[in-house]
Homo-oligomer: A and B are copies of this chain.
């Protein structure tokens, strides 16, 4: 099909939008390792998980076999408010790079949460509502997930309590105000509203909080208050299931125009975006039908795939959550300064970790300054101001396109543009002023953190 016939942006009609999520685990020969009870070292049962998570979400978490899950009507309706997201042909970027490569991106930032997080937020809120719950609790760092969840709970009329790391609560008031606009109660963590919060405040009176502590508070409130459950925006199998809508839409749009990607690229923090984008393509690869190159891009400052180890670890720094088997830098690992808040997680989705261990994907890491250079170049050509997280994928896509320029190969590249950078302008300012850090962890730092992994 010629260049002229493929529009800048491919939008699916409502009829063409996926009606089911795809569960990539169903096609995996080696299933992802189960979550373990940190006390007993035994796989967690549904009964153990249901006091924390909604019943239906627990079922989805543990189901490694069902290939397709119907998307409930109410979620489909909500999706129609901001989906389909466009699949965009980056004609202008290609021209600027002078590459024969064809670059496409799936843009998930055209909604008020500013990212793909909304795809799972509405699903998790829906199942909470169906279960007759009053509300949900969660933690948020920079606030992208908290915003998405607030939007979803506002739509369904559920209560939403967000524990926001105190330093972000104070320094990022804009995200907080978006959440309040959607009716969420936003509590700076640590707080006096929980036992764990009180304890930490007594121990460290001046603390500005941490994600680990915010998780602990959110889980405590969910388990102590009848009618509440805890929800999480990444890492979990259920989240990857919901996010498969990204990849399914991309695949339908590409199939419609006879486009086949050679390389699929996504940024990876906990894995929600990457897992969603690649899902149907990985399915074909697992079934031996196709052989795409699939590339995870992570920050050099937090390189769990490229420099971590594959082992059981805590998902939270507070070490109160279940153990997950994953590529990890150790739950004590403190990444060097990096503004891509969504990619600072020490571990990685168990599903993606297993796929990586089995050789179905590659991983690469990129340094922050080069990421912002790519972000700025992309913004000037394509008009969209990308989030720092998403810009990791842009960097890798540009690098692949430049390789094509050298070799003359007309490869087709698909990457995930997960969100917009409107709330990341402090980072852009540092970049413009030449004050950005490219510090990466030393081998000793990583080894020290990995040495503290729980013994299973």
**Which residues of A are in contact with B by a Cβ distance under 8 Å?**
7-9, 11, 13-14, 80-82, 92, 110-112, 114, 151, 154-155, 173-174, 177-178, 180-183, 375-376, 379-385, 420, 422-423, 425, 428-429, 432
Contacts and interface: CB of A to CB of B under 8 A. Distances in A.
Count the copies: 2
A386 B432 CA distance: 29
A182 B386 CA distance: 12
Contacts of A429: 173, 177, 180
Contact of A432 (B92, B180, B383, B425): B180
Given A112-B385, A183-B380, 5 more contacts: A7-B13, A111-B384, A155-B381, A178-B428, A180-B432
A170 to B, nearest CB: 13
B383 A81 contact: yes
Contacts of A92: 81, 155
A180 B428 CA distance: 9
Contacts of A154: 379-380
A121 to B, nearest CB: 11
Given A92-B155, A112-B420, A422-B174, A181 B385 contact: yes
Contacts of A112: 379, 383-385, 420
Contacts of A384: 111-112
19 contacts: A7-B80, A8-B80, A11-B11, A92-B155, A111-B383, A112-B383, A112-B385, A151-B383, A154-B379, A154-B380, A155-B380, A174-B422, A177-B428, A180-B432, A181-B376, A181-B379, A181-B428, A181-B432, A182-B380
A381 B248 CA distance: 26
A425 B178 CA distance: 7
A411 B182 CA distance: 28
A14 B383 CA distance: 18
A81 B382 contact: yes
Contacts of A114: 422
A322 B154 CA distance: 49
Closest A-B pairs by Cβ, 3 of them: A174-B425, A154-B380, A8-B80
Residue with the highest number of chain B CB atoms closer than 10 Å, among A9, A11, A181, A380: A181
A82 B7 CA distance: 12
Contacts of A151: 383
B425 A177 contact: yes
A382 B111 CA distance: 10
Nearest to A384: B112
Nearest to A178: B385
A177 B381 CA distance: 17
A114 B114 CA distance: 12
A14 B428 CA distance: 33
Contact of A383 (B82, B375, B379, B380): B82
A456 to B, nearest CB: 43
A139 to B, nearest CB: 21
